Structure formats: structure tokens, C-alpha cells
Amino acid sequence: MPAKAKKRNGLREIPDDLWNWIEPILPPDKAPGTNGRPRVANRTVLDGILYVLRTGCQWKMVPRQYGSGSTCHLRFQTRARAGLFERIWRACLKHYDDLRGIGWRFQSLDSATVSAPVKGGTRPERTPPTAANWAPNAILSRTPTAFRWPPRSRAPTGTT
């Protein structure tokens, strides 16, 4: 009996047709029969990376079906430094442009880097002076923290 194909959830996992475009860009999986631990498949790890980027969860909270969070994070870092995600983005844009066409004349910008409004004018407020605080431990409980170290000894300045 042939093996049943795994049903992929399009909302959480990369669809097969998109994977066919992405797979040639990624480095090959570890060849079977080589030494060391078996490597988690590229598709599984990429699904885990996309899960973190979509949900905003911590890397250690990645569901086990995507491999360990440490593996996903390590591959995310190495592939981001290598520029693989930019190459994937460009390949997907080119594919969509060939398929449907992108109106390259139109541009849009969305950003949250807006300076905060100045409150109360442009003159900065004066910072009030602070007094010496008492140290929190028992050894120096009566010594102010500003004067924790004794002054250096000085030579007598008078005439002898």
C-alpha cells in the first residue's frame, strides 16, 4: 500500500507549490547515511521559523512538529546572515509578477518610525539632584553609598 501523503495546513505550513519554488534556494538537507545526528528537514524548520514570525512566540515555545526551537533559531540566524530570505522573497515576487503581474509604478510605505511629539516645549527639564542613598547590605548599613570608599590618606600640609 503506498504511503499516504501528509496533509499540509496552508495557514501554518508552506504549501507544496510554493515549496517547489523555495526548495532550490535553500542549502541541501543532510544526505542519508552520513555521520552524526539526523538533520531536521529544511521544510520542517522553515515552517517553524514562519510559525515564530507569524505568532511572535519565543523560539523555545515552537511546537515539536517543527523541530526544536534552538534548531529553528540557529537556522534562522545563519540564513538571515546569508541573505537567503531576501533571495526567497525575490523569487516569490518574480513568480507572482510572472503569474499575475505587479503594478511596479505604484508604491506604498508603512512605517512606525515617527518622532514623538515634544511635551511642554523644546526646553529640556532640569534633573533634580539626588542625595546619597544608604547601602542595602548589613556590612555597610550606616555608610552612604556615595561615600562607600574611605578617602585616600593625605600627607600633612603643615610646617614641621
DSSP string, 136-159: SSSTTTTSBGGG-SPPPP----S-
Please report whether residue 5 resides in a domain.
no
**46 within 8 A of 12, measured Cβ to Cβ:** no
Q: What is the mean pLDDT of residues 27-42?
A: 82
**29 within 8 A of 41, measured Cβ to Cβ:** yes
0.85 surpassed by pTM: no
Assign 10 to helix, strand or coil. coil
Please report whether residue 38 resides in a domain.
yes
Q: What angle do CA 63, 55, 12 make, to 5 degrees?
A: 65
What stretches of the chain show up as alpha helix (H) in DSSP? 16-22, 42-55, 69-82, 84-99
Structural domains of the chain, count: 1
What is the domain extent for residue 46? 16-99
Q: Name which residue leads in pLDDT, 9 or 50.
A: 50
- Confidence grade of residue 8 (pLDDT, cut at 50, 70, 90): low
Please report whether residue 126 resides in a domain.
no
State yes or no: pLDDT of 26 exceeds 80. yes
State yes or no: pLDDT of 120 exceeds 60. no
- b/e code 81-90 from CB counts within 10 Å (16+ = b): eeebeeebee
Please report whether residue 109 resides in a domain.
no
**26 within 8 A of 2, measured Cβ to Cβ:** no
pLDDT at position 17: 86
Q: Name which residue leads in pLDDT, 127 or 131.
A: 127
